[in-house]
Structure 1
Amino acid sequence: MKKILLTGGMGFFCSRFYEKYKNEYQILALGKQELDVTNKDKVFNIFSDFKPDYVIHAAAIASTDFCNKNPHIARKINVEGSVNVAEVSNKVGAKLLFISTEQVFNGNTELGPYKEDDTPIPNTVYGQNKLEAEELLKEIIEELWILRFSWLFGMAERNMGMASNILWDTITSLIKGEKIYASPNEFRGMTYVYDMIDNIVKVFDIPYGTYHIGSTNDMSRYDVVKHILIELGLENRVEEILINDEEKYKDNPRDLRLNTDKISKYGIVFPTTKEAISNCLREYRMR
């Protein structure tokens, strides 16, 4: 049985990954309490004892606001911590899968979808951290996959990590009776977390390199929220609930969509965001 070590093991993605594959792989899922990635000696000791075949490095501070306000802390974890994980993975002979982000394109002015060889221009500390880590890791370890994720979504589940996402945030606003503001000038891929989990182990069988991965999406954020409301049976209340925030990104549309043609050639394909939202709600018997 192959061994997988997960950093950020208690998070939104990794906690669900563990439950999905705990009987197919020997998995060590470590949260920040168990593994401080900035402590290289501790990283080495844990990796040496477990001897993973694969390391999925998901540990990061992903809050844009926190990173912008605390750049030194963010870089220590997001960059220096990633370097430690890469160096130790290389020493123990583990293959490394590094989870990066669409946010590396947050400062680009041309419209997406972006290909892997397009020049990223991050304008947030988090995006800058991830891009810097990508470049450093490529110099440290050859057995490396860099996956730039699109925004993950999913439902809250018992004893699972959670993160802000388009579907659950919409449902939460409905529960609270709040209006929902969404821009027609924002475009990004949004991927059902379980679609990502189903596909990510397939990456172990493709060549090393940088890949864009996740669902494609041609709908604006406004249209995505509208689709969610309609799928929930609230089509007659869309105008009451959903506010078309036309001013946001009016002068500079935000487009973080990723072109996933490269990874699709290896049979790693996803439903569109629209299809994935419908599938998720169907799974939870909400449509």
Structure 2
Amino acid sequence: MKKVLLTGGNGFFCTRFASHYKDKYEILSLGKKELDVTDEKQVLDTIMKFNPDYVIHAAAIAVTDYCNEHPDIAYKINVKGSLNIAKACKEVNAKLVFISSEQVFNGNIESGPYDEFHKPVPNTVYGQNKLEAENLLKEIIEELWIVRFTWLFDLPERGLNINANIMWNTVKSILKGEKIKAPVNEYRGMTYAKEVVEVFDKIFEIPYGTYHLGSKNDLSRYEVVKLIFEEMGLSERIDELLFKDSEKYKENPRDIRLNTDKLKQYGIEFKDTNEGIKQCITDYKLNL
């Protein structure tokens, strides 16, 4: 049985990965309490002791505002921590999957979708950290997959972590009767996390390199939220709870969609965002 070590083991993606593959791989899932990625010696000792075949490095500070307000802490974890992981992987001949983000394109003024050859222009500390780490890791280890995620969505499941996402944010607001103001000038890929997890181990079989992963999406954020209402059978509540935000991103529309055709060549593809939303609602039996 192949061994997989996960950093950021208590996170949204890794808890789902560990649950799904628990019978296929020997998995060591480490949260920040078990592994301080900024401690080079601890990282090396931990990875040498487990001797994994693959390391999926998902540990990061991903909260944009926090990173902007605490750039030194963000850099220490997001960049230096990633370098420590890569150096340890090289020592034990482990293959590394580095989880990056669509946020590397957050400062691009031209519209997406962006492919892997498009020059990223990050304008946040988090996006800058991710792009710098990507480039530095390539200098350390050749057995490297850089996987830039779109925005993942899902609903809470017992024993699995949940992050803020388009589906859970919307459902929570509906349950509380809260008004939702959604931008009409924001476009981004939004991908059902379950789909991502179910095919993720195929990454281990493709050539090393940089890949964009997730769903294609032609809907604005407002249109996606509206779709959730409709698919849940709550169309009559749209006028009551959902409002168009026409001012946000009015001058500079936000479009950080990713072109995922490169992964499609290797049989890794996903439903479009609208189909993923429908599938998620069906899976959780939220069709009222």
Question: Normalising by structure 1, what TM-score?
Answer: 0.99
- 2:266 maps to what in 1? 266
Aligned residues: 287
Q: State how far apart, in whole Å, the 2-side matches of 1:143 and 1:231 are.
A: 42
- 1:136 maps to what in 2? 136
Q: State how far apart, in whole Å, the 1-side matches of 2:252 and 2:224 are.
A: 20
Shift, 1:161, TM fit: 1.3
- 2:37 maps to what in 1? 37
Q: State how far apart, in whole Å, the 2-side matches of 1:284 and 1:162 are.
A: 15
Shift, 1:236, TM fit: 1.5
Unaligned runs of 5+ in 2: none
Partner secondary structure for residue 216 of structure 1? coil
One-letter amino acid matched to 1:246:
S
Partner secondary structure for residue 112 of structure 2? coil
Please give the residue correspondences for 1:239-278 in structure 2 after superposition, counting only pairs within 5 Å. 239-278=239-278
Q: Does residue 49 of structure 2 align to residue 49 of structure 1? A: yes
Moved more, 222-231 or 171-180: 171-180
Q: State how far apart, in whole Å, the 2-side matches of 1:163 and 1:96 are.
A: 24
Question: Normalising by structure 2, what TM-score?
Answer: 0.99
- 1:75 maps to what in 2? 75
Please list every run of at least 4 consecutive aligned residues from structure 1 whose deviation after the TM superposition is greater than 6 angstroms: none
Q: Percent of counterpart pairs with the same letter?
A: 61
Q: State how far apart, in whole Å, the 2-side matches of 1:227 and 1:98 are.
A: 32
Please give the residue correspondences for 1:1-287 in structure 2 after superposition, counting only pairs within 5 Å. 1-287=1-287
Moved more, 75-84 or 155-164: 155-164
One-letter amino acid matched to 1:80:
K
One-letter amino acid matched to 1:39:
D
Q: Deviations over 1:172-206 (max 9, x none)?
A: 11112110010110000001111110121101110
Partner secondary structure for residue 55 of structure 1? strand
Q: State how far apart, in whole Å, the 1-side matches of 2:36 and 2:11 are.
A: 14
Shift, 1:159, TM fit: 2.1
Q: State how far apart, in whole Å, the 1-side matches of 2:19 and 2:211 are.
A: 25
Partner secondary structure for residue 44 of structure 2? helix
Q: State how far apart, in whole Å, the 1-side matches of 2:68 and 2:196 are.
A: 28
RMSD between aligned residues: 0.6
Shift, 1:160, TM fit: 1.5
Q: Deviations over 1:203-252 (max 9, x none)?
A: 11100000001011000000000000001111112111101001111110
Q: State how far apart, in whole Å, the 2-side matches of 1:86 and 1:163 are.
A: 26
Q: Deviations over 1:89-108 (max 9, x none)?
A: 01111000000000000000
Q: State how far apart, in whole Å, the 2-side matches of 1:282 and 1:84 are.
A: 42
Unaligned runs of 5+ in 1: none
Q: State how far apart, in whole Å, the 1-side matches of 2:141 and 2:97 are.
A: 11
